[in-house]
A and B are shown apart, each in its own frame.
Chain A
Amino acid sequence: DQQVKQNSPSLSVQEGRISILNCDYTNSMFDYFLWYKKYPAEGPTFLISISSIKDKNEDGRFTVFLNKSAKHLSLHIVPSQPGDSAVYFCAARTTGNQFYFGTGTSLTVIP
């Protein structure tokens, strides 16, 4: 029973354009959401996060949007760069300090 879902296994965008990665969740008790980036043969690295009391958080080229009523969050990368090519995981925290991850979206930025 996947509580955090990333329904797009892969995404390709042109360099300079916007990348939008989506994530849906089912557990209304999640109170914090995070995005991680993962290169092959490495561990995930933290990218950006958002509390459930907010609807937007921005950090440079990365913006995360949260729509609690739809149980949906998205990561926007503008402009996309070839170095952004990686697998992106969304994650959600419950009280009790457990974290649930999505299955990941592989982003390819085409030069």
Chain B
Amino acid sequence: DAGITQSPRHKVTETGTPVTLRCHQTENHRYMYWYRQDPGHGLRLIHYSYGVKDTDKGEVSDGYSVSRSKTEDFLLTLESATSSQTSVYFCAIRSGAGGLPSYEQYFGPGTRLTVT
């Protein structure tokens, strides 16, 4: 199994408070992703990173920011949480190395966030 952890695993917070979720990898993979999973929507990409300090937006990036100051850590921040951000958040990593295309991602166990 790929070495990828997420913290916290569960969080309940109030509307308007800031929240930071952490993704940590031990694989030295280049790419890291944040997704949210919601019923009827599957997984949707929030932000991703293609290297230290290199990040880009996904399809549902509004209300979220990210930072990657080290290869192993990718942080997702909700500046002011809203009830619509109640979801399960998954981090994923991808190598991007090697001669042949290899696009499979390895996912963390997820963080269940509830905004009340």
Residues of A within 8 A of B (CB): 4, 6, 32, 34, 36, 41-46, 49, 51, 89, 91, 93, 96-104
Assess whether B64 is interfacial by the CB under 8 Å rule: no
Q: How large is the interface on B (under 10, 10 to 19, 20 to 34, 35 or more residues)?
A: 20 to 34
Q: Is the interface of A mostly helix, strand, loop or mixed?
A: strand
CB <8 Å contact, B107 and A43: yes
B48 within 8 A of A: yes
Q: Is the CB of A42 within 8 A of B45?
A: no
Tell me whether chain B's interface is mostly helix, strand or loop, or mixed. strand
B98 touches A (CB below 8 Å): no
**B33 on the A face (CB < 8 A):** yes
Measured CA separation A91–B23 after assembly (Å): 21
B44: chain A residues at CB < 8 Å are 101
Identify which of A43, A98, A103 contacts B45 (C-beta below 8 A).
Answer: A98
